[in-house]
Amino acid sequence: MFPGLLNVIATIGWSTINTIVGAQALRAVSDTHRLPTAAGIILIAILTLIPSFLGYRFVHAYERWAAVIPVIIFIIMLGEGAKYMVSGPWGGTGSVEAASVLSFGAAVCGFGIGWSSIAADYTVNMPVDASASVIFLATCAFLYTFSKILD
């Protein structure tokens, strides 16, 4: 139960951070910065809820192509930032360099660990003839039981 509780906390935390930062980004790119952050949060929350109703195949089709634009952006960022990576006071030596490397490694591991616990959700495929109401009721029963165990 404890790992499950940690997973719930991590998932809610990442979702909250992503939604707030996304809303701030929408405000920053909106015309004259007039989009309220609260409206951006609501908009992003609704938009991220929609794929859950469109089904498993939609999520996988989206995931198949969603990485293309970030890859292009990262390549451009790498090209623009390469001149700063070759030389300059960006690094350090000794304990400063070790702290930088370990902090970066911890951030990478923390991101991966948070997603690994929900990766199984993307590999579960129910049979086509499975009753939607049975799946719904089983999910609700599990969530109810899980919430009672945590109480």
Quick one: pLDDT at residue 132?
83
SS3 127: coil
More confident residue, 87 or 74: 74
CA distances from 79 to 69, 75, 85, 86, 91 (A): 15, 6, 10, 12, 19
The model's pTM is: 0.49
Quick one: pLDDT at residue 87?
58
CA distances from 33 to 25, 27, 29, 84, 124 (A): 10, 5, 7, 31, 42
CA distances from 119 to 114, 124, 144 (A): 9, 9, 22
List, for residues 89-146, the tens digit of each pLDDT value.
656 667 877 888 888 888 877 777 766 666 656 556 677 788 888 888 887 888 788 7
Quick one: pLDDT at residue 118?
63
List, for residues 38-83, the tens digit of each pLDDT value.
999 999 999 988 888 888 788 878 877 888 888 899 899 888 887 7
36 close to 27: Cβ distance less than 8 angstroms: yes
Match 């499950």 to its residue by tokens: 4
Phi and psi, residue 26, nearest 5°: -60, -40
